[in-house]
């Protein structure tokens, strides 16, 4: 089945395309692309702030660091990498771009003893964005996505205000990731509780709730894991352990109740992206159909 055929079968308008590579290395889906998700570095603050000792602790070699930052060895080179990524995304003619606002290294994702607080991450994120924003056409909306790590968590309207006051570009907003927001509250047990929490959190944003233009819709009831895992770095720390840990927190499951519709009625987004976890297209189709059936 073609991607166009899948979009038609599911009855959706198009795709939000992950653009993590240069334009010549991925298929052209501009006819289907509504949004484009830019590359994301979970760990970047030490590099941006030139914390050499901390960088040496994170990477085993200069080559490993250079690979992680896509060949960049300096902040200016990294900004050039981000610009190339933006150009690759823009080549797909999206209506919007998604930009993550968060920071965590491979150790603090386990310990939750983070090196930077929300405001430090928000201020630095705004600086990085402002440095490359001129690469983005004025008619393309930039939506900043929330995570559960330090940065744009959306749990405090004052911090949302702090961030957007520093953004020097018009035509910006928020991409509310429901699963990421649910991950900030380990007490949630049911989809109904999750919907109530999401709606209450949005309501507390006051006028800044109007910035929410899009929703990444998925369910992440990972409270049991969040409450139980040991807050220490595992002895066998490797890529597999990291991804297993992140997936245990950020579930990307489909909603199975009308809690999904409750959230969308509360937020009234312009864009809804059903961002679910799956291994194959065959596995994805029933998951999408499940969530679509309770979201519409």
Q: Are strands 172-177 and 33-38 parallel, antiparallel or unpaired?
A: unpaired
| Residues with pLDDT less than 70, the chain | 22-24
SS3 call for 296: coil
DSSP 102: B
For residue 22, the model assigns a pLDDT of 67
- Could you tell me the residue ranges of all domains in the chain? 3-42+69-295
Tell me the pLDDT tens digit for each residue of 125-158.
Answer: 999 999 999 999 999 999 999 999 999 999 999 9
H or E segment to which residue 58 belongs: helix 52-58
pLDDT of residue 205: 99
Residue by residue, DSSP assigns 167-191 as ---SSEEEEEEHHHHHTT-TT--SH
Distance of alpha carbon 281 from alpha carbon 96, whole angstroms: 25
What CATH number does domain 3-42+69-295 carry, 1.20.120.1200, 3.20.20.70, 3.20.20.150, 3.90.550.10?
3.20.20.150
Helix (H/G/I), strand (E/B), else coil: 132: helix
Question: Tokens 């989809």, residue?
Answer: 191
Q: Copy the structure tokens of residue 204.
A: 């507390």
The Cβ-side half-sphere exposure at 266, using a 13 Å CA radius, reads 23
33-62 burial: b if 16+ Cβ within 10 Å, else e: bbbbbbbbbbbbbbbbeeeeebbeebbeee
| pLDDT at residue 41 in the model | 98
pTM of full prediction above 0.95: yes
Q: What is the C-alpha to C-alpha distance for residues 242 and 94, in angstroms, rounded to an integer?
A: 31
3-state SS, residue 16? strand
- Contact in structure between 203 and 262 (CB atoms under 8 Å): no
């Amino acid at each position: 089945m073609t991607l166009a055929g899948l979009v038609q079968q599911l009855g959706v308008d198009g795709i939000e395309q992950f653009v993590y590579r240069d334009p010549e290395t991925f298929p052209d889906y501009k006819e289907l692309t509504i949004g484009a998700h830019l590359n994301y570095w979970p760990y970047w603050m030490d590099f941006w702030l030139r914390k050499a000792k901390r960088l040496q602790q994170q990477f085993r070699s200069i080559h490993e660091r250079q690979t992680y930052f896509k060949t960049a060895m300096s902040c200016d080179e990294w900004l050039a990498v981000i610009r190339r990524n933006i150009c690759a995304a823009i080549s797909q003619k999206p209506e919007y771009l998604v930009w993550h606002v968060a920071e965590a290294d491979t150790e603090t994702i386990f310990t939750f003893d983070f090196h930077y607080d929300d405001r430090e991450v928000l201020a630095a994120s705004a600086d990085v964005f402002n440095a490359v924003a001129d690469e983005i056409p004025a008619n393309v909306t930039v939506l900043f996505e929330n995570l559960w790590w330090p940065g744009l968590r959306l749990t405090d309207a004052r911090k949302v205000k702090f961030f957007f006051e520093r953004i020097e570009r018009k035509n910006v907003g928020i991409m509310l990731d429901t699963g990421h927001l649910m991950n900030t509250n380990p007490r949630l047990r049911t989809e109904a509780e999750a919907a109530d929490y999401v709606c209450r959190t949005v309501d507390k944003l006051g006028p800044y709730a109007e910035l929410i233009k899009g929703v990444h819709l998925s369910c992440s009831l990972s409270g049991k894991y969040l409450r139980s895992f040991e807050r220490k770095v595992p002895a066998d720390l490797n890529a597999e352990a990291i991804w297993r840990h992140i997936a245990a927190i950020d579930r990307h499951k489909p909603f199975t109740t009308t809690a999904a519709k409750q959230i969308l009625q509360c937020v009234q987004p312009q864009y809804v992206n059903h961002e679910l976890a799956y291994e194959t297209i065959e596995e994805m189709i029933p998951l999408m159909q499940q969530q679509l059936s309770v979201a519409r």
